[in-house]
Every structure is written in structure tokens, then in C-alpha cells.
Amino acid sequence: MTWTTSITQQMLKPLILGIAIGTSLSITSVNAEIGYPEKEELKFGFIKLTDMAPIAVAYEKGYFEEEGLYVSIEAQANWKVLLDGVIDGRLDGAHMLASAAYCCHHRLWD
């Protein structure tokens, strides 16, 4: 293994995990102390598009489990179904467009 290969592999894993978690979590404000998680398992929704790749890679490579997160991922039929799942709590997070998260947070979604 060369130096550049080891650096790339060391940087790739946190990058993918960070992107996956960042794009997966819905916008909520968290004001709790660090302690036991509220839920043991999380369900993330996604639309079958290439920009959901960080979630799939993190799931398949086991990056969520390495961080103590037990995640299942579930394909959604369309953006409306995905957003409704986040709003009503059926999904704990989702891959979504930034504008959808903004509208959800500010209750602008019909």
C-alpha cells in the first residue's frame, strides 16, 4: 500500500460517513446532553438517485455500526412520501433536497 493510498482510505471513510449523516438527518434542534440514544434503531429514507450514494456506501461498509448507529435504509416512492415520513416521524432522517428540509422546518410544505 502506498502512502497516497493509505491517506485516501483514511480520509474517505469519515468523509462518506459525514456526508451520509449530514444528508440523512432532518433539521431539528438538539439541546440534550450526550447520553444514551433515544432510539436504538434509526430508519432513513431515500429516493433512488445517485446523490443518495453516501447513505448506501455508509450502510454497506458498516460505517454507521462502527459509530454505534444502527440504521436501516428504506426506498421511498417520491419526494412527497419521503418528506411526509420525516414530518410524521415514520422516518428518523432522509436524503432530501435542501429546499425540502427548509420547507419542512419552516412548515411551508403543503
For 11-68, the pLDDT digits (tens) are 666 656 566 656 555 444 455 566 776 788 999 999 999 889 999 999 999 999 988 8
d(CA 35, CA 49): 35
C-alpha cell at 5: 493510498
Mean pLDDT (whole number) for 90-106 = 79
pLDDT of 6 > 70? The answer is no
Question: Strand pairing of 41-46 and 70-75?
Answer: parallel
Q: Are 71 and 44 in contact (CB under 8 A)?
A: yes
- Kindly report the pTM of this predicted structure: 0.61
Q: Are 21 and 52 in contact (CB under 8 A)?
A: no
pLDDT of 8 > 70? The answer is no
Alpha helices in 49-108 (DSSP H): 53-61, 63-66, 79-87, 98-105
